[in-house]
Amino acid sequence: MKLYWAPQSRALRALWLLEEIGCAYQRVTFDLRAGTHRTPEFHAVNPMEKVPALQDGAACVAESGAIFAYLIEKFPDAGLAPPLGDPLRGRFWQWLFFASANIEFAMVEARGQLKLPEVAAGWGSAEKVFNVIEEQLSTTPYIVGEKFSACDIMLATNLHFAITALKLFEPRPVFDAYLAKCRARPAFLRAVAIDSHGG
């Protein structure tokens, strides 16, 4: 399995997920500024020419959420999603899609580049998105309940970029405590070590 990725990018979440799963994978590293990803070979893997993207034999999958769904299905024993038949499975998919459907737009809104009436905006408003996340994390230790899941990887990396790296939102104590818990995971520390030395 090959992960196409680049340091300090959204690919961190796929890297972290693969480290949590503990499966064998190979990294293909791009330099996005230098444009090393703009090749016909990578275009065939992801026509958007964006990372992360995954190649698993003849299968190619791009879009972070889709990569997560693919890996969760391939490695059910990794314990990173509620099992089939568990009622929490519904909430699991909800929070996974929440990231690309709502958080991404909330971040664009916070940068002042997007404003729609709340009733027409699919994500409501940036304030609402972050309030809803805070409400859930004030109720359960992890976003899908009592147990860490792949949705926490998606959410923690989003909160990290939105609050810590890009400073688009004010820190909130609930997010700080949640991020500290997620960042203490050995798989996260391995992913960050790979990310920071660029390999």
Q: Whole-number minimum distance, CB 157 to ligand GSH, in Å?
A: 10
Residue 182 CA to residue 92 CA, distance in Å, equals 17
Nearer to ligand GSH, 168 or 174 (CB): 168
Across 107-122, b (16+ Cβ under 10 Å) vs e yields: bebbeeeeeeeeeebe
What's the closest the beta carbon of residue 42 comes to ligand GSH, in angstroms?
10
Residue among 88 and 101 whose Cβ is closer to ligand GSH:
101
Q: Which residue is nearest to ligand GSH (CB)?
A: 50
Q: Ramachandran region of residue 116, left (φ > 0), alpha (ψ -120 to 50) or beta?
A: beta
CA atoms within 13 A on the CB side of 172: 16
62 or 81: whose CB is closer to ligand GSH? 62
Report d(CA 83, CA 196) in Å as an integer.
34
- The residues that touch ligand GSH, with contacts defined as CB under 6 A, are 9-10, 32, 49-52, 63-64, 100
Task: Kindly state the smallest distance separating residue 2's Cβ from ligand GSH, in Å.
Answer: 16
Amino acid code (one letter) for 194:
I
Give least dist CB 30 to ligand GSH, A. Answer: 8
Spatial distance between the Cα atoms of 80 and 23, rounded to a whole number of angstroms: 13
By beta-carbon proximity to ligand GSH, the closer residue of 63 and 134 is 63
